[in-house]
């Protein structure tokens, strides 16, 4: 990666880390986040406008990996500001209903872009030249924005789609955590930093899926030769994936009681991996 681009990304990470740890008010944090990410995005735009990519591989990497890293944070903060600025200040019940409604709306985006969503999630590359090379303005690709029509030198048909998927993943994690806080009513505010150095990974499937995976790993003996405590594994995964698993033992009992396909999630990820292997051979 170009040294100038690395510096832009590195500086952005530092600024957002400070922002997330030192700014308490969510609206103030979102406003400042918008300014910081807008500046980084403009710096990237100027960099791209002043130089050429070495080859198509470099161009694909930029629009599939680099630009979405920055643009996703801008989308995140804009949506966060809009959601929190209109959040009701009444009962916990009304707030939970409001937050759940926004989670549903965010997930609708995934469904509306399901074909590309699956392509991106499984790490496919066969259509990258159509999705992440500038000038491929084919309306049949169903882009979610028209940026690539109006800003053809800094946009492709799907770089904004990748950024939106990344941003909505982070927003869903944030909203679910807020709901957990309201439901638990513990009076303790949990501050989520989606960009913190310790972990930028967010579990975006449902909790039951992760719990199924945790029990499978523990049962396989893959961790500490099978001596790792299930509670310790669950706690580690909560930290890594920024999620609260709640009463995971009760959830495991629900998995056991399934009448059909007790290993539903494990079967699905096996199928996804096989599909990725197949695609990579094309």
pLDDT by residue (tens digit) across 234-271? 888 988 887 888 888 888 888 888 888 889 999 999 98
Tell me the pLDDT tens digit for each residue of 210-243.
Answer: 999 999 998 888 887 777 778 888 888 988 887 8
280 close to 125: Cβ distance less than 8 angstroms: yes
pLDDT of residue 270: 92
Q: What is the pLDDT of residue 188?
A: 44
User: Could you tell me the two tokens for 222?
Assistant: 């893959």
Residue that has been written with the tokens 């807020």 in this structure = 178
* Confidence band for 143, pLDDT divided at 50, 70 and 90: low
Asked whether 60 and 93 are in contact (CB, 8 A), the reply is: no
Q: Indicate whether 48 pLDDT > 50.
A: yes
Average pLDDT for residues 149-171, to the nearest whole number? 86
Average pLDDT over residues 115-121: 85
pLDDT of residue 56: 94
Q: Strand, helix or coil at 186? A: coil
More confident residue, 34 or 4: 34
Q: What does the pLDDT read at residue 39?
A: 96
Q: Does residue 28 carry a pLDDT above 50?
A: yes
Torsion of CA 146, 172, 114, 164, to 10 degrees: 20
Nearest to 45 by CA among 162, 208, 206, 155: 155
Question: Greater confidence, 181 or 85?
Answer: 85
Write out pLDDT tens, residues 89-100. Answer: 888 999 999 999
Can you give the residue ranges of every domain in the chain? 3-184, 207-280
Counting residues of the chain whose pLDDT is more than 90, the rounded percentage is: 40
CA atoms within 13 A on the CB side of 166: 24
Q: What is the SS3 string spanning 227-273?
A: CCCHHHHHHHHHHHHCCCCCCHHHHHHHHHCCCCCCCHHHHHHHHHH
Confidence of residue 140 (pLDDT cuts 50, 70, 90): low
């Amino acid at each position: 990666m170009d040294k100038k681009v690395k510096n832009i990304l590195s500086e952005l990470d530092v600024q957002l880390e400070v922002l997330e740890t030192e700014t308490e008010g969510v609206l103030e944090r979102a406003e400042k986040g918008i300014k910081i990410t807008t500046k980084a995005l403009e710096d990237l735009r100027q960099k791209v406008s002043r130089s050429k990519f070495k080859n198509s591989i470099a161009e694909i990497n930029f629009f599939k990996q680099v630009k979405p890293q920055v643009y996703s944070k801008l989308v995140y903060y804009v949506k966060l500001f809009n959601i929190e600025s209109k959040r009701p200040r009444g009962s916990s019940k009304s707030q939970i209903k409001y937050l759940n409604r926004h989670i549903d709306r965010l997930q609708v985006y995934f469904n509306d872009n399901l074909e590309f969503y699956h392509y991106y999630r499984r790490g496919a590359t066969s259509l990258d030249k159509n999705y992440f090379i500038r000038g491929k303005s084919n309306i049949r690709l169903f882009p979610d924005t028209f940026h690539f029509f109006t800003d053809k030198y800094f946009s492709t048909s799907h770089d904004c789609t990748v950024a939106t998927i990344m941003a909505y993943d982070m927003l869903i994690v944030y909203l679910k955590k807020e709901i957990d806080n309201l439901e638990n009513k513990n009076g303790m505010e949990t501050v989520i930093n989606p960009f913190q150095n310790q972990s930028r990974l967010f579990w975006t499937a449902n909790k039951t899926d992760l719990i199924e995976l945790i029990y499978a790993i523990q049962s396989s003996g893959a961790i500490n030769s099978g001596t790792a405590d299930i509670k310790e594994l669950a706690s580690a995964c909560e930290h890594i994936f920024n999620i609260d698993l709640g009463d995971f033992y009760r959830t495991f009992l629900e998995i056991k009681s399934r009448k059909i396909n007790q290993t539903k999630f494990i079967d699905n990820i096996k199928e996804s991996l096989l599909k990725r292997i197949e695609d990579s051979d094309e």
